[in-house]
């Protein structure tokens, strides 16, 4: 059995995952990152995207996340995010509707405050990621 480390995914309302993992990959603000047992300590800002967890016991779990932070400390990786959706729970038709709704809310530049535009664009990225994951 490969060496493992503890992986936790936490949102403000719940602990989504707390398990031993052999490998975890996630989308950071500056590109894809991967973590193995013995990885150096780090604190990384996450992007809207996916987290893939290769379970130490075998198998893989994938989550869609809405940005946040990943901290590797000692032998534990903690992913803190506002949203974490298990890919197995994503309905493709619902994801397509969510994406269409997010795209419909697009406004012309200058017609909305920058903070509101950033929220709309983030909602679009999150919905697009759900569609991509649902399509496999």
Structural domain boundaries enclosing 100: 90-135
pLDDT on residue 109: 63
Q: What is the DSSP string of 91-133?
A: -HHHHHHHHHHHHHT---TTSS-HHHHHHHHHHHHHHHHHHHH
How far from 7 is each of 38, 49, 52, 53, CA to CA, in Å?
Answer: 13, 17, 11, 8
pLDDT on residue 119: 85
pLDDT on residue 53: 98
Q: Give how far the C-alpha of residue 128 lies from the chain's centroid of Cα atoms, to the nearest Å.
A: 13
Phi, psi (deg, nearest 5) at residue 91? -90, 125
Report the CATH number at residue 33: 2.60.15.10
| Prediction pTM value | 0.86
Low-confidence ranges of the chain (pLDDT < 50): none
- Do 83 and 99 belong to one domain? no
pLDDT on residue 6: 97
């Amino acid at each position: 059995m490969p060496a493992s480390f503890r992986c936790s995914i936490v949102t403000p309302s719940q602990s989504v995952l707390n398990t031993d993992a052999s490998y975890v990959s996630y989308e950071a603000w500056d590109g894809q990152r991967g973590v193995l047992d013995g990885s150096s300590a780090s604190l990384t800002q996450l992007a809207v995207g996916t987290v893939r967890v290769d379970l130490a016991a075998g198998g893989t779990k994938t989550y869609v996340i809405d940005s946040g932070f990943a901290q590797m400390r000692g032998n534990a990786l903690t992913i803190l995010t506002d949203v974490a959706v298990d890919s197995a729970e994503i309905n493709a038709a619902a994801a397509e509707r969510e994406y269409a709704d997010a795209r419909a809310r697009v406004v012309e530049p200058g017609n909305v405050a920058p903070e509101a535009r950033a929220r709309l664009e983030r909602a679009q990225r999150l919905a697009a990621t759900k569609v991509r994951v649902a399509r496999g």
